[in-house]
Amino acid sequence: MIFDRNENKEVIVLLGAGSMGTAIIRRFAHGRKILLGDISQKNLDKVCQELTYSGYDVETMIVDATDRDSINEFAKHASSLGKVMYYVHTAGASPSQASPEHILKLDMVGTGYAIDAFGQIMAEGGAGLIISSQTGYMLPIPYEVEQTILNSATDELMNIPFITETATRSGTAYMIAKRVNHLQAMKAAATTWKERRARINTISPGIIVTPLAYDEFNAPGNTYQNMIDQSAVRRTASSDEIAEAAAFLLGEHAGFITGTDLLIDGGVIASIRSGAYNLH
| Catalytic residue positions, numbered | 174, 178
Distance CA(185)–CA(10), nearest Å, equals 22
Distance CA(150)–CA(211), nearest Å, equals 33
DSSP symbols for 115-175: HHHHTTTPPTT-EEEEE--GGGGTS---HHHHHHHHTS-GGGGGG-HHHHHH--SHHHHHH
Q: Which of 164, 96, 178 is nearest to 135 (CA)?
A: 178
Contact 117, 111 (CB under 8 A): no
Contact 215, 234 (CB under 8 A): no
Distance CA(117)–CA(41), nearest Å, equals 22
